[in-house]
Amino acid sequence: MIQGYEVKLETFEGPLDLLLHLINQYEIDIYDIPVAQITQQYMDYIHTMQYLELNVASEYLVMASTLLAIKSQMLLPKQEFEEDDMDEAYMDDPREELMQRLIEYRKYKEAAEALKEKEAAEQQVYTRSPVVFEFKDVPIENTNTGNVSVFDMINALKKMMQRNQWKEPQDTVIQRADIPIEKRMEEVLQQVINSKDGVLFHALFPVPTKSYIVTTFVAILELMKNRQVYAMQEQHFEELYVYKMEE
């Protein structure tokens, strides 16, 4: 069994990333966050991450506590305010601080992405030597890592378990020994290579035991981190496919 696997991908940076992912996924107005809904979805992700034995950083749990506290405050009876007190009432909105943090973080993310795109574009600009007139075919490195984040993968796994009623898959008495992560990576990679049209994410989990599910999920993450496979999804909530990274 894999203990405390730490996920460290570009798309998996912290609780604010998860909240922004949920806001985009469910098309939520960031200026009017439905706290009960976002808290439930957030906790579902945390529970799935814990089930997968991923190393859930303490900051995720702190955010969970923050959301639950805001939810509790939102449930308190609302006071009636005079017109002159409306601005003060707005400032007392328990969601205000979280909303501002999300807005600032989204600006930071967008700026970082813009710089990343600019850097990638500049890398495609080549200057020709004024003396040596030689032209060679320069292969362009494939940078396609898909449009799927780890959060999308966790959601796909959660849906698969619910669809197959695997809410708590149990290891059966008669089962094969735990598969080493390296061996499962080889199996997944070979399955993806053999399919030109990509492999459905849920097709990579034929055995409904916890050890197999966790090992397979981590194997896919490792293959993505090693840039051997990537995942794609047409739209939110649609089927997720895994493809071989082109060389």
Whichever domain contains 204, its CATH number is: 1.10.10.580
Q: Which of 90, 109, 135 is the last residue of a domain?
A: 135
Domain annotation covers residue 142: no
- Find the range with the poorest average confidence among 149-158, 163-172, 193-202: 163-172
The pLDDT of residue 213 is above 70: yes
Query: Do 81 and 101 lie in a common domain?
Result: yes
Strand order in the sheet with 229-233: 199-200, 240-244, 229-233
Residue 246 counted as domain residue: yes
Number of separate domains in the chain: 2
Q: Is the pTM here over 0.75, yes or no? A: no
Do residues 78 and 196 share a domain? no
The answer on 161 and 129 residing in a single domain is no
pLDDT digits (tens, 9 = 90+) for 104-126: 999 998 998 888 888 777 766 55
Do residues 56 and 98 share a domain? Answer: yes
At 104 the pLDDT is 95
Q: Mark whether 79 and 40 lie in a shared domain.
A: yes
3-state secondary structure of 46: helix
For 162-200, give one letter per residue: b (16+ CB within 10 A) or e: eeeebeebeeeeeeeeebebeebbeebbebbeeeeebbe
What average pLDDT does the segment 139-156 reach? 66
Domain that residue 222 falls in = 147-247
Instruction: Name the domain boundary from 101, 135, 169.
Output: 135
| pLDDT tens, residue by residue, 59-100 | 899 999 999 999 999 888 766 545 555 455 445 799 999 999
Collapsed DSSP state (helix, strand, coil) of residue 199 = strand
